[in-house]
């Protein structure tokens, strides 16, 4: 546990990718082999069931610390993290131990069916065995909520370096259905479990955002342009007579999309398609808000099937006749993809995502401006000789999105952040005008510099009007431009609208609150997108 706690400390202290990778490499070199699969599982989002409710953890911490409930609540609001608050208020441990990480995790797993009294005894004994920072990590093990700034790519690069294995093999190996108590670190790195299930997808190849002018990419003849669809990235896997559909989030979503099940009969065994799951009606791609009606549904009713029918726009072929094509160039993969799709009978459901023809970067720029007319986010640029990499590789694939929508709003609520932002008000709620009222339309916490965050924090402290737990109502004076990708009707929001991916574009110090946009402005924007 001490070694894992030190790893978390090192990761939290640095913003530099190379330093974090070095810390991960050191950990996986030195740590107990039985601990390593658990750490990989935690960092890749494989969360075990929570054995104890947060309400009980909070109750026991208050009892043990001897502080009143109101003081604990104030401490929690100030710290911003329950696990850390509990670790800080507990009395000093008297019986320190140095048990392995996997032993602590296994102990927690055994509490699932125990009585509250037995759970309490176990947790209090654990708190009395750990120093403050170790308690914090232990509390995180209970909740399963680790937010430490380690991306899958960073973890893969560290594991590849430590194990002297190709990163693509590591990425493939750590995806999917494996459990840390059932597999050794050696077998996990070797991918011993990968071929035991017909369903395994491949790690997705991702693109960087194009920030320079496209002309900087060189000759247009070296590039393939496609539409960037606004849907759910997915892989369709057909092996040994079975069909599986995976989302980019490593979630098996086969049952959610019955429209695609016919592929079990039409796709050859040993085929893996990469593409976008979209709502497609009468041959037209519908807005993402329509697709949302179909997501995360255990059952699909007739109304949903009719209003948001599913299509799959495929743009890459990763496996053909059982052969891995990822080391083949895009030109060859595309040629085999055309052949594969042309053999399907239901062509209006699984569609070959079209290549966008263009003779110059200037012409493509004009075409890109019409992206939203077909519910596309912009253009994808892929080098014709590119391989299908795991994750991102700068230079091969680029996403050239259309400029976002923007709206001028005023901040009316603020809440403190978590982790390193726990001492600052960094989570904000924004509103537009509706007559004489202010109507909330978005929440955002990204887009400001550290200096601006401190300025806003100072304003909130001095201008708070009301307090609702951790939330502060502030004077409606600070104007911010909010950028967003789309807008849709929403019955869940007071404004009747929902903004897609809102974030702070800039602080409009040049504007006053009476100059912000109105709710009617957003409604007109919604109508223009329909």
> Can you give the pLDDT of all 530 residues of the chain as single tens digits?
889 889 988 887 777 888 889 999 999 999 999 999 999 988 887 777 788 888 899 999 999 999 999 998 888 877 777 888 899 999 998 898 889 999 998 888 898 889 999 999 999 999 999 998 898 888 888 877 666 667 777 888 899 899 888 776 787 778 667 888 989 998 888 877 765 457 778 889 999 999 899 999 999 999 999 999 989 999 999 999 989 898 887 677 888 899 999 999 999 999 999 999 999 998 899 988 889 888 877 678 888 889 899 999 999 999 999 999 999 999 999 999 999 999 887 768 999 999 999 999 999 999 999 998 899 999 999 999 999 998 888 899 999 999 889 999 999 999 988 666 678 898 999 999 999 899 999 999 888 888 999 999 999 999 999 888 788 999 999 999 999 988 888 877 888 888 988 999 999 998 999 999 999 999 998 887 76
Q: Are strands 479-484 and 397-401 parallel, antiparallel or unpaired?
A: unpaired
Nearest 10 degrees: CA dihedral of 211, 212, 214, 218? -130
Q: How many Cβ atoms are within 10 Å of 511's Cβ, its own excluded?
A: 15
> Alpha-carbon distance 22 to 316, whole Å?
34
Q: Which of 20, 36, 140, 228 is catalytic?
A: 228
CATH topology assigned to domain 405-529 = OB fold (Dihydrolipoamide Acetyltransferase, E2P) (2.40.50)
Active site residue 228: yes
Give ranges for CATH 1.10.3260.10 in the chain.
2-143
Phi, psi (deg, nearest 5) at residue 111: -80, -10
The strand pairing partners of 416, in sequence order, are 425
* End-to-end Cα separation, the chain, in angstroms: 55
* One CATH from 3.40.50.2300, 3.40.80.10, 1.10.287.70, 1.10.3260.10 for 2-143: 1.10.3260.10
Residue 230 contacts residue 374 (beta carbons within 8 Å): no
Q: How many Cβ atoms are within 10 Å of 71's Cβ, its own excluded?
A: 12
Spell out the CATH class of 205-401: alpha beta
The structure tokens listed for 96 are 């320190």
Nearest 10 degrees: CA dihedral of 494, 498, 502, 508? -50
Phi, psi (deg, nearest 5) at residue 279: -90, 120
Give ranges for CATH 2.40.50.140 in the chain.
405-529
């Amino acid at each position: 546990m001490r070694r894992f706690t030190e790893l978390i400390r090192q990761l939290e202290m640095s913003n530099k990718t190379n330093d974090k990778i070095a810390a991960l490499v050191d950990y996986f070199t030195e740590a107990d082999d039985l601990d390593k699969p658990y750490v990989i599982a935690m960092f890749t989002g494989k969360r075990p069931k929570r054995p104890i409710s947060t309400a009980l953890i909070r109750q026991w911490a208050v009892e043990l610390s001897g502080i009143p409930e109101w003081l604990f609540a104030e401490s929690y609001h100030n710290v911003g993290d329950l696990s850390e608050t509990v670790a800080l208020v507990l009395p000093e441990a008297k019986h320190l131990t140095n048990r392995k990480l996997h032993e602590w995790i296994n102990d927690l797993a055994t509490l699932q069916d125990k009585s509250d009294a037995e759970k309490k005894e176990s947790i209090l004994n654990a708190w009395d065995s750990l120093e403050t920072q170790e308690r914090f990590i232990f509390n995180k093990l209970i909740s399963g909520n680790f937010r430490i700034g380690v991306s899958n790519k960073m973890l893969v690069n560290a594991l590849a370096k430590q194990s002297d294995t190709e990163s693509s093999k590591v990425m493939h190996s750590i995806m999917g259905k494996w459990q840390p108590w059932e597999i050794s670190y050696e077998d996990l790195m070797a991918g011993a479990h990968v071929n035991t299930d017909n369903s395994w997808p491949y790690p997705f190849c991702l693109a960087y955002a194009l920030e320079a002018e496209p002309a900087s990419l060189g000759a247009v003849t070296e590039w393939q342009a496609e539409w960037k669809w606004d849907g759910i990235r997915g892989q369709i896997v057909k092996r040994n007579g079975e069909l599986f559909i995976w989302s980019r989030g490593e979630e098996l979503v086969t049952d959610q999309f019955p429209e695609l099940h016919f592929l079990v009969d039409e796709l050859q065994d040993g085929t893996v398609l990469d593409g976008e799951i979209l709502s497609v009606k009468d041959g037209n791609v519908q807005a993402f808000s329509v697709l949302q009606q179909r997501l995360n549904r255990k059952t699909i009713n007739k109304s949903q099937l009719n209003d948001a029918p599913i299509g799959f726009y495929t743009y890459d072929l990763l496996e053909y006749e059982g052969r891995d094509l990822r080391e083949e160039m895009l030109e060859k993969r595309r040629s085999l993809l055309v052949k594969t799709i042309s053999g399907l009978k239901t062509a209006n459901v699984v569609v070959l995502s079209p290549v966008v023809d263009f003779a110059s970067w200037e012409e493509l720029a004009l075409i890109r401006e019409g992206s939203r007319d077909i519910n596309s986010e912009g253009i994808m640029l892929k080098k014709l000789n590119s391989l299908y990499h795991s994750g991102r590789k700068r230079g091969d694939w680029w996403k050239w999105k259309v400029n976002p929508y923007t709206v001028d709003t005023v901040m009316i609520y603020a809440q403190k952040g978590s982790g390193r932002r726990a001492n600052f008000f960094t989570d904000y709620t924004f509103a537009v005008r509706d007559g004489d009222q202010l109507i909330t339309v978005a929440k955002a916490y990204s887009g400001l510099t550290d200096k601006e965050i401190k300025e806003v924090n100072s304003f909130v402290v001095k201008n708070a009007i009301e307090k609702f737990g951790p939330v502060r109502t502030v004077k409606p004076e600070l104007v911010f431009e909010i950028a967003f990708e789309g807008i849709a009707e929403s019955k869940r929001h007071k404004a009747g609208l929902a903004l897609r991916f809102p974030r702070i574009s800039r602080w409009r110090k040049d504007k006053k609150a009476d100059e912000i946009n109105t709710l009617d402005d957003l409604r007109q924007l919604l109508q223009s997108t329909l």
